[in-house]
Amino acid sequence: NIGKTVRLTRILRDGRAVVFAFDHGFEHGPGDFTSETIDPRGVLKKIVDAGVDAVMLTAGLAHVTRDSWLGRTSLIVKITGKTNLRPEDQKLLQSIIGTVEEAVSLGADAVAATVYWGSQYEDAMLSQWVSIKEEAERYGYPCLQLAYPRGPSIKNMYDVEVVKYGVRAAIEVGADLIKTYYTGSRETFREVVKAASGVPVLMSGGAPRKNFIDFLKDVEDVMKAGAQGVVVGRNVFMHENPALAIKAVMKIVHEGLTAEEAYKT
Ligand code: FBP
């Protein structure tokens, strides 16, 4: 599938990528933002100006923020989602919130969908995934899977065996790129990368760390463990200087700097 290779190369230009996730307004709600960041256009422009490899947005957000990213970075359209407003017992289900065709019409380079591996709704999310995949293959679009182990039988979603299972399951259903949780050490994440069997693995940013340097150390660890990059949201847009924050992440991912070096420069 040449189209898929072409588009993947646009995201992973040197084989690695820093993706800015900004779907939090949908997933978490306005509580993640300040009165300045509630309008996504300003912060998105700063991140794109800083040279980020791709942005991951819902189709609606991609449309309203088009002047901030269009023609200047790659776009990944997230086509599943859930709001925090739904009842607790429905929060382990992601719904279809967009289509591959919409992503194509936006000029995107990939689509993204979440599967909560281990959820009581795993079956529904897998049916969605297979349909998304089928359409994406037709258009030559890579599918990024947010392979998140979450469910009643999962005690620790950051446990290496659990994360490895999610990653292995993701490749078994044809993920072209995988976004997953950091397992807390270089050694364990090396196992996760191995389980991905050559499919690029990107670390999911997670909740904002008290000290930004600690987040950068995680980025350094996953890169040393063989990951292809990161998908980061809150640790960057909640930073007092998002442009500086994303640049530091990019220095580790693309230039191989240590966390300490990237923090200082
Ligand atoms: P973060 O770097 O902020 O964690 O963003 C990554 C992401 O997966 C987003 O794409 C998504 O909105 C959010 O985290 C999911 O958050 P939660 O873990 O609360 O479901």
Would the pLDDT of 265 be above 90? no
The CATH number that applies at residue 45 is 3.20.20.70
Tokens of 73: 């970075």
Domain range enclosing 100:
2-264
User: Residue 143: what pLDDT?
Assistant: 98
- Nearest atom (ligand 1) to Cα of 27: 12
| Contact 242 CB / ligand 1 (< 6 Å) | no
Q: What angle do CA 140, 174, 204 make, to 5 degrees?
A: 95
pLDDT tens for 142-153 read 999 999 999 999
Catalytic positions are 179
Ligand 1 centroid to 181 CA: how many Å?
10
| Contact 251 CB / ligand 1 (< 6 Å) | no
Look up the ipTM and state it: 0.92
Residue from 28, 92, 178 whose mutation best tests the ligand 1 pocket (most atoms within 8 A of CB): 28
Tokens of 227: 């990951």
| Contact 232 CB / ligand 1 (< 6 Å) | yes
Nearest CA to ligand 1 atom 10: 21
Ligand 1 centroid to 2 CA: how many Å?
30
pLDDT tens for 29-80 read 999 999 999 999 999 999 999 999 999 999 999 999 999 999 999 999 999 9
| Contact 208 CB / ligand 1 (< 6 Å) | no
Per-residue pLDDT band at 175 (split at 50, 70, 90): very high
Give residue 222's identity as a one-letter amino acid code: V
Residue 55, C-beta contacts closer than 8 angstroms, at least 6 positions apart: 19, 20, 21, 22, 44, 47, 48, 69, 73, 74, 75, 76
User: Residue 40: what pLDDT?
Assistant: 97
| Contact 218 CB / ligand 1 (< 6 Å) | no
Task: Decide: 222 and 230 in contact? Cβ < 8 Å.
Answer: yes
pLDDT tens for 104-133 read 999 999 999 999 999 999 999 999 999 999
* Number of separate domains in the chain: 1
pLDDT tens for 180-189 read 999 999 999 9
Per DSSP bridges, beta strands 177-180 and 201-204 are parallel
Ligand 1 centroid to 138 CA: how many Å?
28
DSSP character string of 47-91: HHHTT-SEEEE-HHHHHHTHHHHTTTSEEEEE-EE--TTS-GGGT
The model carries a pTM of 0.97
User: Residue 147: what pLDDT?
Assistant: 98
